Every structure is written in C-alpha cells, then in structure tokens.
A and B are shown apart, each in its own frame.
Chain A
Amino acid sequence: MNGPRVVIVDDHGLFRSGVRAELEELVAIAGEAATVADAVEVIGRESPDVVLLDVHMPDGGGVEVIRQIAPAQPDVKFLALSVSDAAEDVIAVIRAGARGYVTKTISGPELADAARRVHGGDAVFSPRLAGFVLDAFADAPETGGADDELDQLTPREREVLRHIARGYMYKEVALRLGISAKTVEAHVSSVLRKLQLSTRHELSAWAAKREL
C-alpha cells in the first residue's frame, strides 16, 4: 500500500467503520479513535501521515486534538471532516492548523484523494470553503500596517478561489487560467496561510463563535 497512513478520529462508530470500509483499498488505515484523549494517544503512537478529524466531538472537538498534537508532531497533517458547513466551524479548524476541510457527504475516492493531497502538502478547499474565504476577504480592510499582505488576497488568488467555488478541480482551474497545476496549488496554499495568520476581524469573529 503506497497511500498515506491515515488515522480516523470521530466519535460516531458507525461513521468510522463506514469511512474505514471505503478507504481500506485506497489508503493505509493506521488506527481509529473516538475521543480527544484516545486520538492524542493513537496519533502519538502511530505517527500517521494524515488524520481525518471530526470537527464536533465532546471535550473540545477536532480543534483540541490539533492543539495537543501539532506542537509535538508537526509532520502530521490534519484534514477536517464535518457534517456542518457553517463558517465558524470551518474557519476555526483551519485556523487551528488543519490543511483542508471537507463535508462528510464526500465520496470514498474523493476523500482518499483529499487525504493524498493533504499528505502531499496541498491545501484542500471545497467550493464552500472557497466561498467563505472570498466572503471574509471581500473588501479591503480598514486598518493598514505591517500585516497588510496577510489581510488581502491578490487578484490571482481571488480568481483561483472563484473557480474553486464554481466547482472546478485544481487542474481544470490551471487549464482555464493558463497556469500550471503547481501554481494553482501554490496560490491555494498561500490563501490557507493567510487564512491561518490573518487578523481580519471577519475571521476572528467567525473563530470566536467557536471559542478558538
């Protein structure tokens, strides 16, 4: 098996076994966990490449798992999974350090593909996440200063996000904009970085709703 080694963290046993069954052929399942404490233990022991992380769990949810793991194991990549597509959930978990966000209705092959892309260092943006980001960075911020670069999207980044929001895959975006797929990925990664580091009040407000 040459796919990434994956740990599934979700407090719903039914969902875990469903994901396991769908992914077994596509990636290497290294373990499962049902609680934040279990997750920290399993991830610490297995050092997986990618953690599929449920956003909503008791005791702090996915955000808490990232908080406890990220400092000790910076190489572990997190892909957030949720039934919710509310802006505050998405933004909170991305700002905590997840490299991507997909909803639980995603198909098995798509999920495996997302895990592989996250493992490869890419950011995985769903159309909805792209929409949230465009909304959050909609207008120029009132405050100027040293962080300006973090608080605004370049026209190119905006264009890439708009295509993702319209439902285009990265390589289709590349084709349409006449740039390479690598460049598209670079733009998306740059947007992810801005999403995590920017102090724009829209992002802070969304994150605050989830007490990040």
Chain B
Amino acid sequence: MATSPAAVPQRPSRPGLLTRGSVEVALGAALLALSLLLTLRATGAWFSDALVWPLVLIVAGTALLWRRSAAPAAVPVEPPRRVEPSPAVRAQLESEEVRERAAVASRTGVGIALVLSAGLVFLQATGSLSAARDVILAVVVVLVVLGVIFAPWAMRLARSLTAERSERIRSQERAELAAHLHDSVLQTLALVQRSSHDPREVAALARSQERELRDWLSGRSEEAAGRLARALEDAAADVERAHGVPVEVVTVGDRDLDSASEALVAAAREAMVNAAKFGGGHPVDVYAEAGSQRTEVFVRDRGSGFDPDAVPGDRRGVRESILGRMERHGGKARILSSPDGGTEVELILP
C-alpha cells in the first residue's frame, strides 16, 4: 500500500510501448545478428550459408521470448491497482491489464513461431526435413516432460497472483472501512466523551450514530432514496436529534415519493415533533403501511393526551400542518387521544 502512489502514475503509458517496443527489439536483434553473420562471412570465417536465416530468426524470436519472461516477473511486485477509488480510473487500469495480457500472449506466440520457423528453415536447407518427423516426436516428448516439471511452478505462480489480487481487494476494503469508522463512530465517541455530563445528549448521539451505522451496514441507502420508508426514517432521525426522544419507525411495503406522499411525510414529521414534545419523553412509535389501495401512517406517543377539539386556533401545528395538509392532498388525518393512553395521529392517503 505504501509504495503505491509513486508507482501508479507511470502505468498508463506502458502497454502500448511494450508491443511496439518488442517489435523494435526483435527487428533490431535480427538486424544485428544479420550484420554480424555477414561480417563473419566477409572475413571468411564461415561454415555454411544455410545457417544465416535460421540464426537471424532464432535471434529475433529469442529477443521476443526473453522480453516476455521478464514481464510476468514484474507483476507480483506491482502496487495495488485498486488504490484509486474513482471507478473511471479503475476501469481504465483494468482494461489496460487486459490489453497488456493480450500483448504478452501475442509476443509469446510470435516468438515461438519465429524460433520454430528458424528450425524448419535450417532443416530444409540441410535437407534433413524428412528426418525431422522423428525429431518432432522427440520434441513433443521433451515438451511433455518439461510441462510435467514446470506445471507446479506455473500453478504456484498463478495462485500467488490470485492471492495477491484478493489481498489487494481486502486491503482496499479495510482502508474504506477504517475511513468510514473514523469519520463516523470515532467522531461520535469523541463527542460522547465531551458530553458525558449530559445523559440525554449522550443517548441522542448514540441513537443517531446507531441509525447511521445500521444504514451503512445494510447498504440500503442508495436504492431507498426517493422512497417513502426512507423519507420517514430521515424525518424520524431529525426529530430524534432535535428533541432527544427515540422515534421507532416500522414500515411495511414502500412507495415512490410524489407530491401527495411528500405531504404525508411532512404531516408525519409534524406529528412526530408533537409526540416528541408532549409525549413525556417516552419513545414515539411510527408505523407506515404502503399498500396497493392506500398508504397509512400512524404516529403514536404515550403522553398524557389532549382534546383535539380544544386546541386553540392559533396552534397551527396540528390544524394546518397535519389536518389541512392531508386534506389538500386528498387524504385524511385523524387524531385519537385519551388521557391515559397517549395520542395517536392517523394519516391516510388513498
């Protein structure tokens, strides 16, 4: 992880250069070999012309193969690629990785073809192509033997690459988790220590942190945006924070937010505020059910209750924000209150 920032910037330019570079290297090696051979020939230190083209081909092929074998050795020490969180960068790195792997494969193929054709050219020049069939058999045998010998090594390499990759992903996740806990839980714990003299504040902090952490753990936050259940949860969290009274929300079913259901949420929020204020500090229960026929929300407290008809006209909260708001959107609101059973506000939207 620590070495990554320095290593990442040089990556983007690599794959293209590698393919072009290998062709250049192969060509250069071939030309060098050719000139060396021609020089030898000119000076007379020479065996047979049959050697020229096979040697040139072999040199070119070898150059390619050697470059190839150097590349995978470099992969394991490469830094974690997923350090950058941006999806665009990650996608770019991944497509580069794919391209690079294709380039390695094609280099290997070309290298092998060059070396093989060198062999064929040599055999044909020396007239022993017919004998080559036996040789090919021998070669196959040798290849199989080599395969058996090197297979465990290759498999170990592949496995270590996989392990490397998952380790990278794990450390990435760990870093994200640590960052999140730092921003949320540790901050809250610091606040809790500073307000340890105020039990209400501590409880409120613990509640809101709990809500936030649950939300994060469940991973629902994104898919639930713009839905009724989420909007009610948010309203409950706000009321809880503002009034220091726990608000429990239970929802059955869900629906998208439109202007009517937004009004429903606003009315429910007002009812929660009243319940938190006048509910005597007891927890407030909110139950919402969104069905195909209608949507209902119940907000209930366990306070001492009040007479809805006796609410003075200047108390706009109940009359305007709850009853009026629901009626304007084609819904209904009912307030049931009794001195010992608390108050329940019932909001219904057809």
The judgment on whether A and B are partners is yes
Chain A residues near B287 (CB, 8 Å)?
Answer: 127, 131, 162, 165-167
Query: B-side binding surface: helix, strand, loop or mixed?
Result: strand
Structural contact, A166 and B285, CB atoms closer than 8 A: yes
Minimum distance in angstroms from A152 CB to a CB of chain B: 16
- How many of chain A's residues have a CB under 8 angstroms from any CB in B? 15
Segment with Cβ contacts to A, from B83-91, B109-117, B244-252:
B244-252
Which A residues are in CB contact (< 8 Å) with B252? Answer: 131, 134-135, 138, 165
Residues of A within 8 A of B298 (CB): 166
Q: Which of B214, B250, B251, B283 has the most CB of A within 10 A?
A: B250
* B10 beta carbon closer than 8 Å to chain A: no
Q: Is there contact, CB below 8 Å, between B253 and A128? A: no
Q: Across the interface, do A127 and B253 meet the contact criterion of CB distance under 8 Å?
A: no
Determine whether B344 belongs to the interface, using a CB cutoff of 8 Å to chain A.
yes
The interface size of chain B toward A, counting residues with CB under 8 Å, comes to: 15
Contact A165 B250 (CB under 8 A): yes
Residues of B301-350 whose CB lies within 8 A of A: 341, 344
Query: Does A86 sit at the interface, judged by CB under 8 A?
Result: yes
Residues of B within 8 A of A166 (CB): 285, 287, 298, 300, 344
Q: Does B96 contact A (CB under 8 A)?
A: no
Rounded to whole Å, the gap between the CB of B207 and the closest CB of chain A is 9
Q: Chain A 68-91, CB within 8 Å of chain B: the 1/0 string?
A: 000000000000000001100000
Which one of A127, A134, A172 lies within 8 Å of B248 (CB-CB)? A127
Whether B289 sits at the interface, judged by CB under 8 Å, is yes
Residue of A nearest to B296 (CB): A162
- Chain A residues with CB under 8 Å of B344's CB are 166
Complex formed: what's the CA distance from A197 to B341 in Å? 35
Select B250's contact among A127, A138, A172, beta carbons within 8 Å.
Answer: A127
Q: Give the docked Cα–Cα distance between A128 and B285 (Å).
A: 10
Contacts of B300 in A (CB 8 A): 166-168
A192 at the binding interface (Cβ < 8 Å)? no
Complexed CA–CA distance, A165 and B289 (Å)? 10
Q: Are A127 and B285 in contact (CB under 8 A)?
A: yes
CA distance A168 to B218 in the complex (A): 28
Total number of A-B contacts with CB less than 8 angstroms? 36
Q: Closest A residue to B248 by CB, please name it.
A: A127
A128 touches B248 (CB 8 A): yes
Q: A130 in the interface, Cβ–Cβ < 8 Å?
A: yes
Docked Cα-Cα span, A168 to B287, in Å, equals 11
A85 to B341, CA, bound (A): 27
Q: Is the Cβ of A128 less than 8 Å from the Cβ of B250?
A: yes
Interface residues of B in 189-246 (CB under 8 A from A): 214, 218
Bound-state Cα–Cα, A165 to B341, Å: 16
Q: What is the bound-complex CA distance between A131 and B214, given in angstroms?
A: 18
Smallest Cβ-Cβ distance to B301: which chain A residue: A167
Name the residue on A nearest B203 (C-beta).
Answer: A105
Contacts of B285 in A (CB 8 A): 127, 166-167
Contact of B341 among A86, A128, A134, A172 (CB under 8 A): A172
Cα separation A166 to B218 with both chains bound (whole Å): 24
In Å, the complex CA distance between A130 and B298 comes to 14
Q: What is the 8 Å Cβ interface bit string for chain B, positions 264-292, against chain A (1 contact, 0 not)?
A: 00000000000000000001010101000
Name B253's contact: one of A85, A86, A135, A172 (CB within 8 Å).
A135
For chain A residues 46-99, which have a beta carbon within 8 Å of chain B? 85-86
The interface residues of chain A lying within 8 Å CB-to-CB of B214 are 85
Nearest CB of chain A from residue B250's CB, rounded to whole Å: 4
Contacts of A130 in B (CB 8 A): 250
Question: What's the Cα separation between A127 and B285 when bound, in Å?
Answer: 8
Near B by CB (< 8 A), chain A positions 113-137 give 127-128, 130-131, 134-135
Nearest chain B residue, comparing its CB with the CB of A84: B214
Nearest chain A CB to B343 CB, angstrom units: 12
**Contact assessment for B289 and A134 in the assembled complex, using a CB-CB cutoff below 8 Å:** yes
Q: Nearest chain-A residue to B341 (Cβ)?
A: A172
Residues of A within 8 A of B248 (CB): 127-128, 167
**A184, B289: Cα distance in complex, Å:** 21
Contact B218 A162, beta carbon cutoff 8 Å: no
Smallest beta-carbon distance A133→chain B, Å: 9
Q: How far, in whole Å, are A93 and B287 apart by their CA atoms in the complex?
A: 24
Interface residues of A in 122-159 (CB under 8 A from B): 127-128, 130-131, 134-135, 138
Interface, chain A (partner B; CB < 8 A): 85-86, 127-128, 130-131, 134-135, 138, 162, 165-168, 172
CB<8 Å pairs between A and B, sample of 11: A127-B250, A127-B285, A131-B287, A134-B289, A135-B252, A162-B287, A165-B287, A166-B298, A167-B283, A167-B285, A167-B287
Pick the 5 closest A-B CB pairs, nearest first: A167-B285, A131-B250, A166-B287, A134-B252, A166-B298
Apart from A167-B248, A167-B287, A167-B300, 20 more pairs, CB < 8 Å: A127-B285, A127-B287, A128-B248, A130-B250, A131-B250, A131-B251, A131-B252, A131-B287, A134-B252, A138-B252, A138-B253, A162-B289, A165-B250, A165-B252, A165-B287, A166-B298, A166-B344, A167-B283, A167-B285, A168-B300
